[in-house]
């Protein structure tokens, strides 16, 4: 039970709120005669839009707007990635203190790339936040308006989600050793609750 801290519980509550709101939205915008399968697809895509926009959007926000000055006495030089052409600053959840940084630091316990401004993760998340999220919303609008192109866009989105998920997993299981960035965060105590950390 020590893994169920307040950040995790609040995040799980937000997920339930997203799902409830998606269901309520389906009741409001879809006809009562809408087939059950189509209603479930609407709820899923509305939920998908909310998760991409709010949760994953917060990751992108922290990568671009949450930072800390680079201190050579504290930080390893490998942390400098000249992100946003600012070699004197470090970006990402590890360097902020807001609700989203807490969420992403919990996530970073499983995959430490989420603690900073990892360019691979940022590129995938930009596609998700700016592409998959709006497409999920477009699908919801299409379902409500009975657009015949909706099945095509569902397939496009599902393919993109599968590809993105597979890319994230294959990158995180790379045989290459982690850069010193991760070791530095462990030394700073950012992952003190990790098993063996």
Domain boundaries, the chain: 6-187
What phi and psi, each to the nearest 5 degrees, are found at residue 120?
-70, -45
DSSP string, 44-88: HHHHHHHIIIIIIHHHHHHHHH-EEE--TTTS-GGG---GGG-TT
Collapsed DSSP state (helix, strand, coil) of residue 89 = strand
Q: Are 142 and 30 in contact (CB under 8 A)?
A: no
Q: What is the mean pLDDT of each run of 10 residues along the chain (197 residues)?
A: 79 95 97 96 98 96 94 83 87 92 90 88 93 98 96 96 77 55 53 43
Q: Are 177 and 184 in contact (CB under 8 A)?
A: no
Collapsed DSSP state (helix, strand, coil) of residue 129 = helix
**Nearest alpha carbon to residue 154 among 164, 142, 144, 168:** 142
Q: Are 81 and 96 in contact (CB under 8 A)?
A: no
pLDDT value at residue 137: 98
Distance CA 107, CA 103 (A): 6
pLDDT value at residue 192: 46
What's the pTM value of the predicted model, to 2 decimals? Answer: 0.81
194: left (phi over 0), alpha (psi -120 to 50) or beta: beta
Tokens read off for 193: 């609750």
Distance CA 147, CA 60 (A): 31
């Amino acid at each position: 039970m020590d893994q169920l801290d307040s950040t995790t519980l609040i995040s799980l509550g937000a997920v339930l709120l997203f799902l409830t709101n998606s269901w309520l939205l389906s009741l409001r915008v879809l006809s009562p005669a809408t087939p059950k399968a189509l209603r479930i697809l609407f709820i899923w895509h509305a939920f998908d839009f909310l998760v991409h926009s709010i949760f994953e959007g917060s990751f992108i926000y922290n990568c671009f707007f949450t930072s800390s000055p680079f201190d050579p006495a504290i930080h390893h030089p490998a942390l400098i990635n000249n992100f946003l052409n600012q070699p004197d600053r470090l970006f990402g959840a590890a360097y902020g203190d807001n609700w989203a940084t807490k969420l992403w630091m919990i996530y970073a316990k499983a995959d430490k790339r989420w603690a900073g401004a990892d360019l691979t993760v940022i590129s995938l998340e930009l596609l998700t936040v700016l592409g998959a999220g709006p497409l999920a919303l477009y699908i919801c609008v299409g379902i409500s308006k009975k657009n015949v192109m909706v099945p095509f866009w569902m397939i496009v989105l599902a393919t993109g989600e599968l590809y993105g998920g597979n890319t994230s997993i294959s990158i995180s299981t790379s045989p290459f050793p982690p850069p010193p960035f991760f070791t530095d965060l462990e030394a700073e105590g950012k992952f003190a609750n990790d098993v063996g950390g």
